[in-house]
Amino acid sequence: MGTETSAVVTKPGTIELQQFALPAIGPEEMLLRVEMVSICGSDRKHYLGGAYDVFPKILGHELVGYVANVGDTAAGKYGVSVGDRLVVEPYIPCWCCRYCATGYYQLCPQRRIYGVNISCDTPPHLWGAYGEYMYVAPGSRVHKIAMHVSPQAATLSSVIGNGVRWVATKGQLRVGEAVAIVGPGALGLASTIVAHHCGAGAIVVIGLRADEERLNFARECGATHTFFADEKDLATRVKEVCRGELPSLVIEVGGSPDSICRALSLVRPAGKCVIAGTTDQVTPIQFDAIVRNEIQILGGLGQSWDVEAAVKIIESGRYPIERMVACTRPLAEAEHALRQFIDQPRDFIRIGLKP
C-alpha cells in the first residue's frame, strides 16, 4: 500500500516527522492527498497542550486535497471520484444523536474533530492534515472546490463557513442592515467578507492599535469603516457611521473579556450579539442593559451546513481570501512554522503547510 509522512505532535511542544502505512479504504471511506493545510489559531493550543490534551496526534483541520482512494459507497454518496479536489469539514458527525439529526453536528457528544482530538495511535492513524495524506471517515462532510481557486483560499473554507454561520445563519443579517465585528483576525475577516456578500449596509470592524494592518485589510474585504477599540466615545462614533443607530448585529471574535463587553455595548435595542471568541477568563457583564434593551446573545461554535455556501463565496473570486495565508512552508518545517505563528502572532493571520 505504500507509506506517507506526517508531522506528529508526540508531546506538548514537540513535533516529529513520522511515517505511516497508507490505509486500506473500505466502502464508506476515503483517502485524501493533502495539497495544503493552514495553521489555525487553535493549533497553538493543540500543539502546546491544555486543549484536547491527546497525544500523539497529527494536527490540521483547515485543508484542501485530492481524492487518492475512495470506496464505492462513499463515491456514490458524495458524488466524487479519484482526482477530485475537495475540502473537508473539521467535525465528524455520528448522524445518530439529536444534535447531528437537527443540524448541530458540531455539538455531537462524540466530539470527533480532525486534527484536534483523535490520537494517531488510533487506526487508521491519519486523522489530521499535517501530512501527505489524510483519512476521511464515514459520515464526514466534504465539498468539491474548483481548480481555479488557490490552495491558500481553499484551505479557509471552514473559516469562511464560520462567517456564514455567525453572520447569516445565527445573525440572520438582512440586506442593508449594519453590522459591527469586534476582532480583525481570520474569523473577523471571514465575518467581514460574509457580511459584504450578504449585502450589509455599514460594516464596522474594530481592533487594537496593533491591528492597524489587519484593519486596513478588512477594508479590502468589504469593511466600510474601521475603528480602534480604545477610541474615545466608540459607541457614538459607530452610531454616526450607522445612520444614527447602533448596529443590529454585532459579531464578537476577539476572545477577551474586554472585547465581549465592548461588543455588547455596540448592539442596538432588539439587536443580536453573536459571541464566537473564547477566553479562559471570567467576563463581568452588566445584564440590566441586556434586559432593558432586549438584546439577544447567541453563542457561535464552528460551522454546520455553512461550508457549502462558503465554498461558493470563495469560488466567486470577489475577495482576497488567499492573502489571509501570509506565507507557506514545507511540511518538514511544521514545527518552525508553528513556533513563528505562536511567537509572532501579529505577523501571520495564517501560515500554509505544503507536503
Predicted local confidence at residue 75, as pLDDT: 98
Q: Where are the domains of the chain?
A: 3-149+317-354, 160-299
Regarding beta strands 63-70 and 85-88, do their DSSP bridges make them parallel or antiparallel, or are they unpaired?
Answer: antiparallel
Predicted local confidence at residue 49, as pLDDT: 87
> What residue ranges in 109-169 does DSSP mark as E strands?
133-136, 142-144
User: What mean pLDDT comes out for the span 87-116?
Assistant: 96
pLDDT interval class at 236 (50, 70, 90)? very high
pLDDT over 70 percentage in the chain: 100
Predicted local confidence at residue 53, as pLDDT: 80
User: Is the confidence at residue 175, as pLDDT, over 80?
Assistant: yes
| Tens digit of each residue's pLDDT (9 = 90 or more) over 261-276 | 999 999 999 999 999 9
User: What mean pLDDT comes out for the span 217-230?
Assistant: 98
User: What mean pLDDT comes out for the span 37-45?
Assistant: 94
User: Is the confidence at residue 32, as pLDDT, over 80?
Assistant: yes
Please provide the CATH number assigned to the domain covering 160-299: 3.40.50.720
User: Is the confidence at residue 185, as pLDDT, over 90?
Assistant: yes
Higher pLDDT, 53 or 218: 218
Average pLDDT, whole number, for the chain? 96
Predicted local confidence at residue 279, as pLDDT: 87
Is residue 113 within 8 A of residue 90, CB to CB? The reply is yes
Predicted local confidence at residue 51, as pLDDT: 66
User: Is the confidence at residue 25, as pLDDT, over 80?
Assistant: yes
User: Is the confidence at residue 1, as pLDDT, over 80?
Assistant: no
User: What mean pLDDT comes out for the span 333-354?
Assistant: 95
pLDDT interval class at 280 (50, 70, 90)? confident
User: Is the confidence at residue 346, as pLDDT, over 90?
Assistant: no
Predicted local confidence at residue 174, as pLDDT: 96
Predicted local confidence at residue 22, as pLDDT: 98
Predicted local confidence at residue 297, as pLDDT: 97
Torsion angles phi and psi, residue 236, rounded to 5: -65, -45
Would you give the DSSP letter of residue 304? S
Task: Give the C-alpha distances (Å, rounded to integers) separating 219 from 145, 186, 247, 320.
Answer: 26, 14, 18, 11
Please write down the HEC assignment for all residues of 316-332: HCCCCHHHHEEEEEEHH
Spatial separation of the C-alpha atoms in residues 275 and 277, rounded to whole Å: 6
Please provide the CATH number assigned to the domain covering 3-149+317-354: 3.90.180.10
Residue 31's H or E segment, with its range, is strand 30-38
| Tens digit of each residue's pLDDT (9 = 90 or more) over 159-171 | 999 999 999 999 9
User: Is the confidence at residue 224, as pLDDT, over 80?
Assistant: yes
User: What mean pLDDT comes out for the span 181-195?
Assistant: 98
pTM of the entire structure?
0.97
pLDDT interval class at 194 (50, 70, 90)? very high
| Tens digit of each residue's pLDDT (9 = 90 or more) over 43-94 | 999 999 876 789 999 999 999 999 999 999 999 999 999 999 999 999 999 9
